[in-house]
């Protein structure tokens, strides 16, 4: 029953990444400290504020394997989560639009894909290129 209320209110399971990241010259950097915090958060976190124009969803898919997306459903603008089976994304709203891991809309009323950002992983630090 609680999950229905969470969906109505648009409350996601993903938690914010509190530290270990910064934004400089259009590039988002997540340090080894931030990546370690991601592990404590279950491999998924979102980033917002700190100069970011749009929230970012960060997912750890495996050792040194990360995905990043604009954290905004293209239907109602709500946040998105990694699906429990890790095969795609879903909006945290009642309608639960779903996306594949490339950001392509699969089901629901979403009006198109979510933006997937390019990344580079080097020396234990993740860089996210926010320009599309």
Three-state secondary structure string covering the chain:
CHHHHHHHHCCCCCEECCCCEEEECCEEEECHHHHHHHHHCCCEEEECCCCCCCCEEEEEEECCEEEEEECCCCCCCCCEEECCCCCCEEECCCCCCEECCCCCEEECCCCCCCCEEEEEEECCEEEEECCC
Tell whether the model's pLDDT for residue 1 goes beyond 60: no
pTM: 0.88
pLDDT, one tens digit per residue, over 2-39 is 466 666 666 778 899 988 999 988 789 999 999 999 88
Instruction: Give the pLDDT of residue 2.
Output: 46
Q: Based on the structure, what is the number of domains in the chain?
A: 1
Structural domain containing residue 47:
2-129
Q: What is the CATH number of the domain that holds 84?
A: 2.102.10.10
pLDDT, one tens digit per residue, over 57-86 is 999 998 889 999 999 988 888 889 888 888
């Amino acid at each position: 029953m609680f999950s229905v209320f969470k969906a109505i209110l648009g409350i996601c399971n993903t938690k914010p990444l509190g530290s270990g990241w910064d934004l400089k010259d259009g590039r988002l950097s997540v340090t080894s400290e931030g990546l370690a915090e991601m592990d404590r958060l279950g491999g998924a976190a979102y980033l917002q504020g700190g100069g970011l124009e749009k929230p970012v969803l960060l997912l750890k898919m495996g050792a040194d394997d990360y995905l990043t997306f604009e954290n905004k459903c293209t239907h109602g603008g709500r946040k998105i989560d990694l699906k429990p089976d890790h095969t795609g994304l879903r909006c945290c709203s009642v309608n639960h639009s779903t996306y594949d891991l490339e950001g392509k809309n699969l089901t629901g009323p979403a009006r198109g894909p979510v933006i997937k950002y390019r990344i580079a992983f080097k020396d234990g630090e993740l860089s996210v290129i926010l320009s599309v």
